[in-house]
A and B are shown apart, each in its own frame.
Chain A
Amino acid sequence: MHNKTIADLAKGLRSGEFSSVELTQSFLDRIKQHSSLNSYITVTEDLALQEAMAADARIAKGDAELLTGIPIAQKDIFCTQGVKTTCGSKMLDNFIAPYDATVIEKFNNAGAVMLGKLNMDEFAMGSSNETSYYGAVKNPWDTNTVPGGSSGGSAAAVAARLAVCATGTDTGGSIRQPAALCGITGLKPTYGRVSRYGMIAYASSLDQGGPMARSAEDAAIMLQTMAGFDEKDSTSVDQPVPDYLAGLNNNLDGLKIGLPKEFFGEGLNSDVAATLDAAINEYRKLGAEVKEISMPNLKLAIPAYYVIAPAECSANLSRFDGVRYGYRCENPADLTDLYTRSRGEGFGKEVKRRILMGTYALSAGYYDAYYIKAQKIRRLISEDFKNALAEVDVIMGPVTPSTAFGIGEKIGNPIEMYLSDIYTIAINLAGVPAMSVPAGFVDGKPVGLQVIGNYFAEDRLLNIAHRYQQVTDWHQQTPKGFE
């Protein structure tokens, strides 16, 4: 049951083959059975069964949607009313959100069943899920390795079939990188496509929520529910949401694929490169034309990102001050003590590092040299994407330089950790949509192909991924022990 796609599960629910309560219970059982993966922070068992019952009633009445009764899980960055919302931090260990994020509201309206809240790097800052206050998540393909981050819990849970699908958020690669390392399909939509309301902010101009699923088709079903203008988010874009399922099977004849030479140079593991070559060949067979392109400013993405994202986070995380909610230190002596100890004790090392970097970059005398300069680079990178996407329909490349690395391997070296997002970060700076599509394995560990499209071309990306998934079965592989 847990290996079925959303469409198949929806059919099974409608035909009475199984109920949502049965389906939900089977996932709850699996979550318990595989709790050592540490993919969930909170399992909302009672709530899930209640929602499943309501879904069964709705299905019986005949007004069910595709997601009605489907057990999904939410990254713990989305506020869920009445449910603990931690953002992977000690700071919010006691925080019960008093409202639902827009994305959560949309899934609730669709009748999806929430199994629980998924583990993540603290405040979405990390590429390995090791910065979580709730401990590292294990990659189901090799439990000695990381699942990637920051949506590591989401990727691990979907890969291990502990949820049909899950939400993620992506600021510099946080959907695509874990999707690649865990062998699932992840989509970071165009900035502004999915509402950020109720999604705890890391770097507001880069954050974007998106689907993490087993297939492009499932991702399309999720995005259909998640996308759309939200009057509560001024940066969401008021543009109609297309039917993402309608064009999934469009043929790829004459599709122009660009391969930036900057993506295939030094630093890319040769086995990963070979795997990607094979995937791109598959596209040739599907009728695509492939050409090399150049995006000269990509190399500036990491330094620009590590100014802009920390700058924004340094302000975004100021609200966690121990005054109104969240962690407060014991017996503060005075206001300064309250602030310094609550924040000092409540935040983890990586979060503090980024707050400090951001504070520094915005300080008087440094602002022009760092923040303004980084914004200029950001514009150059956007130009690179605009130029490239005028020449080709989509850009393809790696998601990560290598397959999943070992737990503990990079956590002591922030620069090396930051470099694991080298192929994903530029996409956030430009704001374009991109996917990670399972494209093969190296030594039994998944490899992801990144497909990058033009603004609001999610439908095209899903189509391109879906056609590939019709002729390959990488996305259907299940890690050992989780069949």
Chain B
Amino acid sequence: MSQQWETVIGLEIHAQLATKSKIFSGASTAYGAEPNTQACAVDLGLPGVLPVLNKEAVRMAVIFGMAIEAHIAPYSVFARKNYFYPDLPKGYQISQMELPIVGVGHLDIEVDGVTKRIGVTRAHLEEDAGKSLHEDFHGLTGIDLNRAGTPLLEIVSEPDMSSAKEAVAYMRKLHELVRYLGICDGNMQEGSFRCDANVSVRPKGQKEFGTRAEIKNINSFKFVEKAINHEIERQIDLIESGGKVVQETRLYDSVKDETRSMRSKEEANDYRYFPDPDLLPVLIDEAFKEQIKAGLPELPQAKKQRFKDQYALDEESTTVLTSTRQLADYFEAVVKGAACEARICANWVTGDLSAALNKAGLEITESPVSHQRLAGLLVRIADNTISGKIAKQVFEEMWQSDSSADEIIEAKGLKQITDTGAIEAIIDKIIADNQDQVEQYRSGKDKVFGFFVGQVMKEMQGKANPGEVNKMLKDKLK
């Protein structure tokens, strides 16, 4: 049935910019402080106070714009969006309406191996509101204005997505990008990255858009997918049963997995936008853009391609390694320090290290094993001081202590034996003690070779160089 329907989705994403102070005041933006301890006179909207634009927020918006190859407005204007709400201290939000700082740009997403370009209509700067707290006040509402004035970049997409999957891919891509750029911490639990979705359906082939509903405040990738799919289903059911979709704002309830109506178009506010006379227009010249461009980090897509080319890594490893800038930087630092095959470095970073970090719930930046120490370990694999197997043991020791790989290898006597004389003596002894197996091997039972390797390794407590052991055994067993 759903074959005959086509979905149109556009997303509005609010990314909280990672500035130290608020967009129009000097108060801190740190999360989680006691209510109203990070709201200064400006944030409280006291009589007589005035906003002063935080240049860092402008810089971050321009960085974003450059990263999505968008038009950066040489002249953009802050406007007042008027509405009354207790957590909006001035009775208006300072935002941008007609002249946003970032114009048309784009972002490429990949779904099921197919690349699709999603248009970004605009991105504008605005201030966040405070929070209304409905618990613990005996039926009254508490207001916490710590968040009031936190800088947000609202990124509005074109209605270019046609499935919840694409919407999630776009959101993930944007999430990855803003973190790469260092302009947003991407913490969705703390509300640093929030999403509203505009969803409509239309009969396949129809040109005009169907009536859309806006789903507010969907704050995880999982919920975005569920909320959109639920909404698509609701709209199709509605139309198929003879109803009509009304333009409205709906709220997603993640507990009941449903959206419900918040307000209809008729009830919508007339925000009476007009240019804020307290703030000057934001002027951005070519020199500033050039300076930003020169300082732009390598973007995820480019980095991924470079990792493939430069390090000859497979798709899976590159995807993992470039998932955050920090992990990619760590990997490259290890490669540089270890001077060994990049593939081995990649295996360690995406394998043992990532597993240990996951288990401990740590980010790469919090890794107890620094890239210098990991490189120190990989150097000893490369120069045959230890085997890969012993290396895992050393790594575990490193995770628990501050010691270097060399210190651990030395202290525990894990040095690999490459002295061919010592290995030869052991091999001779094993061959002499196991004449039956020697016969079997010589009669064509190749599998028995593993038995000899195991015996030698056992005798040498795993410290023999496996390559050397193989080579010698093959010679002696001929």
Contacts and interface: CB of A to CB of B under 8 A. Distances in A.
A311 interface: yes
A321 B274 contact: no
A324 interface: yes
Contacts of B279: 234-235
A319 interface: yes
Interface in A83-139: 85, 87, 92, 95, 97-99, 101
B143 interface: yes
B86 interface: yes
A315 B82 contact: yes
27 contacts: A79-B48, A97-B46, A98-B41, A99-B41, A99-B46, A200-B47, A201-B47, A201-B48, A204-B277, A205-B277, A233-B50, A234-B53, A234-B280, A235-B279, A235-B280, A314-B272, A319-B47, A319-B91, A321-B86, A323-B86, A323-B89, A325-B46, A326-B47, A362-B82, A362-B273, A363-B270, A367-B272
Interface in B19-41: 41
A97 B45 contact: no
B449 interface: no
B90 interface: yes
Contacts of B44: 324
Contact of B48 (A197, A317, A320, A364): A197
A363 B272 contact: yes
Interface in B34-88: 41, 44-53, 80, 82, 84, 86
Contacts of B84: 318, 321, 339
Interface centre among A98, A317, A324, A335 (most CB of B within 10 A): A324
Contacts of B82: 314-315, 318, 362
Interface residues of B, number: 28
Interface centre among B44, B82, B84, B272 (most CB of A within 10 A): B272
B253 interface: no
B278 A323 contact: no
A367 B46 contact: no
Interface of B: 41, 44-53, 80, 82, 84, 86, 89-92, 143, 270, 272-274, 277-280
A28 interface: no
A312 interface: yes
Contacts of B52: 231-234
A196 B90 contact: no
Contacts of A314: 82, 272
B42 to A, nearest CB: 9
Nearest to B141: A335
A324 B45 contact: yes
Contacts of A148: none
A315 B91 contact: yes
Interface centre among A204, A232, A233, A371 (most CB of B within 10 A): A232
A84 to B, nearest CB: 12
Given A97-B48, A98-B41, A319-B91, 8 more contacts: A79-B48, A197-B48, A198-B49, A200-B48, A235-B279, A321-B84, A324-B44, A367-B272
B89 A235 contact: no
A437 B90 CA distance: 38
A20 to B, nearest CB: 28
Contacts of B53: 234
Contacts of A235: 50, 277-280
Interface centre among A87, A234, A362 (most CB of B within 10 A): A234
Contact of B45 (A233, A234, A319, A364): A319
A199 interface: yes
Interface centre among B48, B52, B278, B280 (most CB of A within 10 A): B48
A24 interface: no
A367 B48 contact: no
B137 to A, nearest CB: 14
Contacts of A97: 46-48
Contacts of A196: 50
A65 to B, nearest CB: 25
Contacts of B273: 362
B278 A335 contact: no
A79 B49 CA distance: 9
Interface in A283-341: 311-312, 314-315, 317-321, 323-326, 335, 339
A203 B89 CA distance: 18
A234 B92 contact: no
B274 A371 contact: yes
Nearest to B26: A232
Contact of B278 (A87, A98, A101, A234): A234
A311 to B, nearest CB: 6
A87 B47 contact: yes
A410 B90 CA distance: 33
A359 interface: yes
Given A204-B278, A324-B45, A371-B274, A319 B90 contact: yes
Interface centre among A78, A197, A326 (most CB of B within 10 A): A197
Contacts of A78: 48
- In the complex, the 9 A-B pairs of residues with the closest C-beta atoms, listed nearest first: A318-B91, A205-B277, A362-B272, A204-B277, A198-B48, A319-B45, A200-B47, A79-B48, A200-B48
B47 A315 contact: no
A321 B83 CA distance: 11
B282 to A, nearest CB: 11
Contacts of A204: 277-278
